[in-house]
Structure 1
Amino acid sequence: MEEWVGYKWHEYVTRQALGEFPEHAVYLKDEARSLGVLFRAFGGDPALSLVTAEPRHFRLRRRFLHKLAGTHRKFELAWRDEQNLRLPEKVARFPSKQLNRDLYIWLAALAASPVPGSSDWFTGNQSLVQSVIARWPGLENVYQRLVRQTLRWRPDPENLPEKEAAREQAIRQALVHPGSVNTLPTASTDPWPVIVWLYPALEQSTASGQVTGDDDNQSSPGGLAKKNKRRQAERVDAFDRDQGLMIFRLESLFSWTDFIPVDRAGDDTDEEDAEAVADDMDMISVSRDRKETSSSIKFDLDLPSEEHDDLRLGPGIHLPEWDWRSQSYRDAFCCVQPMLAKDVVPAELPEDLRRPAKRLQRQFSALKPLKQWQKRQVDGDELDLDACLEREVQNRRGQGVIDQKLFQRCQQNQRDLACLVLADASLSTETYINNHQRVIDIARDGLQLLSEALQASRDPFALFAFSSRRRDHVRFHHLKSFDEAYTSTIRGRIQALEPGFYTRMGAAIRQSIKLLQTRHEHQKILLLLTDGKPNDLDIYEGRYGVEDTRMAVQEAHKAGITPFCVTIDDEASDYLPYVFGSNNYVVIRDPAQLPLQLPKLYLNLTQ
């Protein structure tokens, strides 16, 4: 009973201190799709990702109720950098859902505008507001409504000391009449957050644990889902586990910030509330202590020995990579290594795929080349009896001009196209769907059913898969070339395909372009199957990987190749329109339907 009363008391005090309206809350996860469309419609950078902003710490003059509830120390505010637009996870500041939603819309419009010339946060935001209202006059009423509600939430200048009151008056004046205040008075505390403005990007330094080198930047394999919210951290010396029972100083027993040794490299933990604990901590201390888990991580990520690895076909192919920061190519930056599965056992089509395969074969057999007779030819395979009869009639009538085209020729009406299917075989495809089937299993079924269909239509096709571990080892798995027949050996290679490593998508696309350029067919299709964003262990993460993949797609278009992406990534709509274009991708909402949907997508592409 005491715990229940204490919990209810804490809930009541916190709600009163926050001054929010939880019944009118609007969440970013529900608005993200429409906000992304609006952000790009306002002229925002289409390469930016829409993610959650982490809380910022403020040294404010808090009221007694704020101190009692422990609130108003951290605030989620909007800001942007070169890779992301970060917005609050939840907006419940205003007494209506429409106003809270309007705040998201206003912040998206503000972030979509060009960066103001002034580097000062105070004057720069005023210029930004003026620019947005000048470009989109319809947003002025939205802004004024938000300002009126914001002023009610801000502290009253009459209750503040002189310097803080002068600063608050200046902020209020700047909100109501943007551009009317040039300087912000200083005070000993931080100004109350302005929720309708953009804040500077958080500093990225070595103290925050951000490492850009090849060895220490451990990203998620194959585009595994990651939390978007970042947290403040600092580098410390390795935690000494042998220092005895007293692992903290007694005088810091009741401090607000605890020192907790968390092994970042370990995945297995019994702490169910570890994420909540991390949210409550002001600073997370990160050390390089990996004595116990480094061997297991290295076992998972390092390349297998040649004895247990697939066969390498040649020394490797060096390809360029696009660096969006310098807007230039890095020549011979990546090494694509063609691989062939070793000791493959020829296999037949699995039993559960035989019935849909027969149905697809009947459907696709209608596309195979048909014989057609071309009549009235100067030469050909046989005499054209109709033409000969007509000539005899003309001859007997004594007509002067007699048609000499008396033959007919047989030709096959052949579809002039070639298709290369490129499958993502990164470690993320190890993920289970519906707790019984892996993504890689679904992809293999899709490759086999599509191959059975294309075999019936006699369209030339090739099958490859890819994964990567840094730029110097992009694995390009050879499943079937254009010149190989689809046999039980090819089925064995498909069934032997296993996931591993990461997703350096740009290099794999460029190698596929080189293979398609050797074909003489008029229509060339590059069909990409993937389950996530491009990423790798080194710098190939975030916007860098997206921009390189986008440039590789543009190279395919310039080469006369039609690239098309098929994905099961729920978040693909955030970045695939920018990478492939709005009409060159499709998201399969139910991954289990991929094997049956793939041949249908191919028909739509080629008809």
Structure 2
Amino acid sequence: MEEWVGYKWHEYITRQALGEFPEHAVYLKDEARSLGIVFRAFGGDPALSLVTAEPRHFRLRRRFLHKIAGTHRKFELAWRDEQNLRLPEKVAKFPSKRLNRELYIWLAALAANPAPADSDWFTGNQALVQDVIARWPGLERVYQRLVKQVLRRRPDPEGLSAEEAVREQAIRQALIHPGSVAALPAAGTDPWPVILWLYPALEQGKANGPVTGDEDTQSSPGGLTKKNKRHQAERVEAFDRDQGLMIFRLESLFSWTEFIPVDRAGDDTKEEDAEAVADDMDMISVSNDRKETSSSIKFDLDLPSEEHDDLRLGPGIHLPEWDWRSQSYREAFCCVQPMLAKNAEPAELPEALRRPAKRLQRQFSALKPLKQWHKRQLDGDELDLDACLEREVQNRRGQGAIDQKLFRRCQQSQRDLACLVLADVSLSTETYINNQQRVIDIARDGLQLLSEALQASRDPFALFAFSSRRRDYVRFHHLKGFDETYTSTIRGRIQALEPGFYTRMGAAIRQATKLLGARHEQQKVLLLLTDGKPNDLDLYEGRYGIEDTRMAVQEAIKAGLTPFCVTIDDEASEYLPYVFGSHNYVVIRDPAQLPLQLPKLYLNLTQ
């Protein structure tokens, strides 16, 4: 009972202190898709990802109620950097869902415009507001409505000190008439946050030493990416567990700011709410203390030994990589290593795939080359009996003009196209779908069914798979070349595929472009199967990997190829339109349907 009363009291005090309207809250996860469209429609950089903003600290003169509730120390505010546009996770500042949604739209429009050069936060935001309203006059009414609501909820200058009152008046004047205030007056505390403006990008705090680890990325139910959520950090030597009887500080009873030993290198933590605790912590401490997990065996993604690895075909192929930061290529930066399965045994088609394979073979056999006889030709393979008989009749009747086209010619009517299928076999394909089937198993079935169909249509095709471990080792698995017949040997190579390492997609696409570009067919299709974003260990994350992949796709298009991506990634709509174009990709919502959907996609793409 006491715990319930305490919880209700905390809930009431916090709600009163925040001054928000939770019943009218609008969440970024629900608005992410439409906001992404709005951001790009206003001219925003299509390479930026829409993510949630982490709270930043402010030194404010808080009211008594704020101090009791422990609120108004951190605020989620909008800002952008070279890779992301960051917006608050929810907006509940106004007593209307329409107004809260309009705040999201206004911030997206503001972030879509380039910030004025050589200007500080205060004058820069005023100039940015003026520019947005000048370019999009329809937003002026939205801005005025938001300003009216914001001014009601800002501190009253009469209740502030003299310096703070002057500064608050300057901010109010700048909101009402952007560009009318040249500088922000100084005061002893931070100014109350302006939710209608963009804030400078947060710089990642520096610890006492390097802290390694993967960049956390996870999906929320609405498809919004919550990543790069940074905290203040410190490095400590070790956590002393022998603290005697006093195992916590009494003054920290209402705070999560305690040392919680979260083992970053292991997956055996028992803290179910560790993520929620970490989000609430002001300081995260990192140490090299391995006492708790010293008995656990840890594995790294290391390369297999030569005797257990696949065969290497040649010394490797050096390819360039695009660096979007310098807007230039890094020549011979990546090494693509062709591989051939060493222990792959010839295999037959699995029993579960035989019935759909026969159905696809009947459907695709209608596409195979057919013999067509062209009659009444000047020359050809044999005489056209009908034309010869008609000429004899004309000759006996004594008609003047006699047709000389007395032959017929046989020609093959065939589709002039070639297809190269490139499959992503990175470590993420080890994931199980509905605890039944791995992604790699689904990909294998899809490759086999598509191969059975293409063999029936007699379209030239090749199969390759790839994974990577840094730039100097991009594994390019040879499954079937254009000059090879689809046999049990090829099926064995497909069935021998196993999850590999990471996804350096740009290098793999460039190598596939070279192979497919050497074909003489008029239509050349590069079909990519993947389950996630491009990534690797050596900075091939985020925008760097996306920009390199996009440049590789552009190179393929310039070479006369038709790149098309098939993915099962739920977040693909956030980045694939930028990488492949809005009509050159498809997301398979139910991964189990990939094997059956893949041949249909090929038909739609090539007919």
For Structure 1 versus Structure 2, the TM-score category normalised by the shorter chain is: over 0.9
Partners of 2:51 and 2:226 within 8 A in 1: no
Partners of 2:205 and 2:232 within 8 A in 1: no
Larger relative contact order, structure 1 or 2 (CA cutoff 8 Å, min sep 6)? 1
Amino acid in structure 2 at the alignment position of 1:160: L
For 1:338, the equivalent position in structure 2 comes to 338
Amino acid in structure 1 at the alignment position of 2:232: A
3-state SS in 1 of match to 2:483: coil
Q: Give the unaligned 5+ runs of structure 2.
A: none
Partners in 2 of 1:234 and 1:346 — Cα distance?
Answer: 55
Amino acid in structure 2 at the alignment position of 1:168: E
For 1:17, the equivalent position in structure 2 comes to 17
Partners of 2:25 and 2:100 within 8 A in 1: yes
- Give deviations 1:42-72, integer Å, cap 9, x for gaps: 0000000000000001111111111111111
For 2:233, the equivalent position in structure 1 comes to 234
* TM-superposed deviation, 1:397: 3.4
- Give deviations 1:497-522, integer Å, cap 9, x for gaps: 11121110000000000110121111
Partners of 1:377 and 1:406 within 8 A in 2: yes
Q: Which one is further off, 275-284 or 131-140?
A: 275-284
Classify 1:363/1:221 alpha carbon distance in 2 versus 1 (closer, same or farther; 3 Å).
Answer: farther
Classify 1:275/1:205 alpha carbon distance in 2 versus 1 (closer, same or farther; 3 Å).
Answer: closer
Partners in 2 of 1:229 and 1:20 — Cα distance?
Answer: 27
Amino acid in structure 2 at the alignment position of 1:228: K
Partners in 2 of 1:295 and 1:550 — Cα distance?
Answer: 44
3-state SS in 2 of match to 1:124: helix
- Give deviations 1:121-174, integer Å, cap 9, x for gaps: 000000000000000111011111111111111111111111111111111111
* TM-superposed deviation, 1:298: 6.8
Q: Which one is further off, 437-446 or 53-62?
A: 437-446
- Give deviations 1:294-327, integer Å, cap 9, x for gaps: 9989733111111211111111111000000000
Q: Which one is further off, 432-441 or 362-371?
A: 432-441
Match of residue 214, structure 2, among 214, 218, 223: 218
Partners of 2:391 and 2:403 within 8 A in 1: yes
Classify 1:45/1:239 alpha carbon distance in 2 versus 1 (closer, same or farther; 3 Å).
Answer: same
3-state SS in 2 of match to 1:207: coil
Classify 1:347/1:220 alpha carbon distance in 2 versus 1 (closer, same or farther; 3 Å).
Answer: farther
Partners in 1 of 2:416 and 2:439 — Cα distance?
Answer: 32
* TM-superposed deviation, 1:244: 3.8
Classify 1:221/1:367 alpha carbon distance in 2 versus 1 (closer, same or farther; 3 Å).
Answer: farther
3-state SS in 1 of match to 2:419: strand
3-state SS in 2 of match to 1:305: coil
Classify 1:557/1:284 alpha carbon distance in 2 versus 1 (closer, same or farther; 3 Å).
Answer: same
Tell me if 1:65 matches 2:61.
no
3-state SS in 1 of match to 2:187: coil
Q: Which one is further off, 82-91 or 355-364?
A: 355-364
For 2:135, the equivalent position in structure 1 comes to 135
Q: Give 1:53-202 correspondences, 5 Å limit.
A: 53-202=53-202
Classify 1:455/1:508 alpha carbon distance in 2 versus 1 (closer, same or farther; 3 Å).
Answer: same
Partners of 1:221 and 1:502 within 8 A in 2: no
Partners of 1:313 and 1:340 within 8 A in 2: yes
Partners of 1:80 and 1:200 within 8 A in 2: yes
Partners in 1 of 2:377 and 2:124 — Cα distance?
Answer: 77
3-state SS in 1 of match to 2:128: helix
For 2:562, the equivalent position in structure 1 comes to 562
3-state SS in 1 of match to 2:86: strand
Classify 1:171/1:253 alpha carbon distance in 2 versus 1 (closer, same or farther; 3 Å).
Answer: closer
Partners in 1 of 2:559 and 2:589 — Cα distance?
Answer: 31
Partners in 2 of 1:335 and 1:219 — Cα distance?
Answer: 25
* TM-superposed deviation, 1:203: 1.0
* TM-superposed deviation, 1:285: 2.2
Q: Give 1:440-479 correspondences, 5 Å limit.
A: 440-479=440-479
3-state SS in 1 of match to 2:265: coil
3-state SS in 1 of match to 2:503: coil
Q: Give the unaligned 5+ runs of structure 1.
A: none
Classify 1:305/1:247 alpha carbon distance in 2 versus 1 (closer, same or farther; 3 Å).
Answer: farther
Partners in 1 of 2:508 and 2:163 — Cα distance?
Answer: 60
Classify 1:183/1:310 alpha carbon distance in 2 versus 1 (closer, same or farther; 3 Å).
Answer: same
Partners of 2:216 and 2:227 within 8 A in 1: no
Partners in 2 of 1:80 and 1:415 — Cα distance?
Answer: 49
3-state SS in 2 of match to 1:231: coil
Amino acid in structure 2 at the alignment position of 1:455: Q
Classify 1:130/1:323 alpha carbon distance in 2 versus 1 (closer, same or farther; 3 Å).
Answer: same
State TM-score, norm by structure 2.
0.95
Tell me if 1:552 matches 2:552.
yes
For 2:592, the equivalent position in structure 1 comes to 592
Partners of 2:205 and 2:233 within 8 A in 1: no
Partners in 2 of 1:195 and 1:521 — Cα distance?
Answer: 57
Partners in 1 of 2:381 and 2:474 — Cα distance?
Answer: 52
Classify 1:442/1:201 alpha carbon distance in 2 versus 1 (closer, same or farther; 3 Å).
Answer: same
Q: Provide the identity percentage.
A: 83
Amino acid in structure 1 at the alignment position of 2:230: R
Classify 1:192/1:233 alpha carbon distance in 2 versus 1 (closer, same or farther; 3 Å).
Answer: same
State TM-score, norm by structure 1.
0.95
* TM-superposed deviation, 1:377: 2.3
Partners in 2 of 1:222 and 1:429 — Cα distance?
Answer: 16
Partners in 2 of 1:124 and 1:84 — Cα distance?
Answer: 20
* TM-superposed deviation, 1:287: 3.6
Classify 1:249/1:188 alpha carbon distance in 2 versus 1 (closer, same or farther; 3 Å).
Answer: farther
Classify 1:514/1:210 alpha carbon distance in 2 versus 1 (closer, same or farther; 3 Å).
Answer: farther
* TM-superposed deviation, 1:354: 1.2
3-state SS in 1 of match to 2:367: coil
RMSD between superposed Cα atoms in Å: 2.3
* TM-superposed deviation, 1:439: 1.2
* Count of residues paired in the alignment: 602
- Give deviations 1:452-471, integer Å, cap 9, x for gaps: 11111111111111111110
3-state SS in 2 of match to 1:299: coil
Tell me if 1:433 matches 2:429.
no
Amino acid in structure 2 at the alignment position of 1:340: L
